[in-house]
Amino acid sequence: MTAVAMDFGIDEALRALGIKDINDGTSTGSDFFSTGELIESRSPVDGALIASVRSTTKEDYNKVMEKATDAFKSWRKKPAPQRGEIVRQFGDKLRELKEPLGKLVSYEMGKSYQEGLGEVQEMIDICDFAVGLSRQLHGLTMHSERPGHRMYEQYHPLGVVGIISAFNFPVAVWAWNTALAWICGDVCVWKPSEKAPLCGIACQNIAASVFRKNMLPEGISNLINGDFTVGEFLSTDNRIPLLSATGSIRMGKIVAQTVASRLGKSLLELGGNNAIIVSPDADIKMTVIGAVFGAVGTAGQRCTSTRRLIIHSSIYNEVKDALVSAYKQLRIGNPLDENNHVGPLIDKDAVNMYENALTEVVKQGGKLLVEGGVLTGEGYESGCYVKPAIAEADNSYAIVQNETFAPILYLLKYSEDLEEAIAIQNGVVQGLSSAIMTNNLREAEAFLSCAGSDCGIANVNIGTSGAEIGGAFGGEKETGGGRESGSDAWKIYMRRQTNTINYTTSLPLAQGIKFDL
């Protein structure tokens, strides 16, 4: 792999993460060389080539799977608390390398440096959670209807877990899956986004160093690189009982059908079309803070980004004016400069989708309150910097019904009661994150009730972004129904087994059947 010296300390970050001196072709983090096609990693920050990485061939993939399946045989036998100790060391290594990894995330993906550091912190947090979990992989005991019998449930490792992650969170989502899978006794094969392959190599290097230090098999953590065709290696492989995939709804439907056709399990984290309901009893200042952060953070490229603001007509103009004023204060530029609020979109394709969405919302009857546009000139040479936009719209517009991965916020109005607002909130195919801004206890509870938000995440007086590690993360409807991270999300990485023990000298049969033997 060929690396190029960069400003902003990127060169030093690459060296610290073991990327700078990797030979051309070491795309999988394994001890063999790939002959696959080159993938260029270009930074959306300045358009510069960071490095070229070899794509994984089918031959490479089979070698990875051989190592993974072999490593699983020994890793599953290691007591869970001992597996937890390895994850603890991995978390400590992330603490040590938080700054260079956060900088690489920021530079390769384009999110702010603070967000890059925050993403690495999420990795550390899930490691801490997983370490505690390693002593709590509990089952259930049940009373048998037969005398002298005992029943219980226990959980066992699944095997090789496949992970396909998206560019917008190039390291954290992998860690959400991997830390839990490792604790559960599984091994992992990860295909990061082809738009952020260096983040994947950096994480593989970190993990591999921990496993080497503990004289454990290399195949516990595995990396493959490439586009959707490489992802198909995972989705069609019977050796992978669970495939966790993060991405678009379109991608998720293909993965789900392919995995289901071989009766495998899939964990899907797909698109979001997230809304905040702003009731007449909302705190306007808190509303503006939550809406702006949710809409422009990561340049609108989070699955939990705020896309829609559903505002009661009695306060509509007040909220609208406050938002327009707040947007005038946004600073757009190099995400490694902590004075900037908004960095670039991931690439030119994302810019084209952004421009198309702005054209479509006007064509479909909407009105731009804060006009967008692509920024040019000094500091914007990559062509990936755009202005966050606000548009008045209607929930029925086709463009509003779809998720555009860009900083576009649609203002929608409701005039009657909360039931109307909830109907608008739920009136999309996606069901990831939602929120209500209100100081009315009855409204808050109604929003969280079974007749309220139909999303996997529903918040009160905070925005749609910012999920914590302790709670299960995921959404309903066409968001896929998957759950990652906290709570009991660990159970999907294991197989459940029911056990019955007869500790008597007789064998009673079902339905009173008797054999005279």
Would you name the residues annotated as active-site residues? 269, 303
One-letter amino acid of 36:
G
Q: Provide the CA 114 distance to its chain's centre, in angstroms.
A: 18
Please answer whether residues 17 and 202 qualify as being in contact, where contact means their C-beta atoms are separated by less than 8 angstroms.
yes
Nearest-Å Rg of the Cα atoms of the chain is: 25
Q: Could you write out the three-class secondary structure of 123-134?
A: HHHHHHHHHHHC
Count, in order, helices (H) and strands (E) of the chain.
15, 21
Backbone angles phi, psi at 26, to 5 degrees: -80, 70
Report residue 476 CA to chain centroid gap: 15
Give the Cα separation of 227 and 468 in Å (integer). 30
Beta-strand pair 408-414/389-392: parallel
Q: Are strands 221-223 and 389-392 parallel, antiparallel or unpaired?
A: unpaired
Lay out the sheet containing 367-370: strands in order across: 367-370, 389-392, 408-414, 306-312, 274-278, 433-437, 457-460
**Under the phi-then-psi rule, with left for phi > 0, alpha for psi from -120 to 50, and beta for the rest, what region is 480?**
left
What does the block give as tokens for 45? Answer: 């920050």
Query: What are the b/e assignments for 249-286, b being 16+ CB within 10 Å?
Result: bebbebbbebbeeeebbbbbbbbbbbbbbbbebbeeee
Are β-strands 187-191 and 160-164 bridged in parallel, bridged antiparallel, or unpaired? parallel
**Residue from 255, 234, 262 nearest 62 by CA:** 234
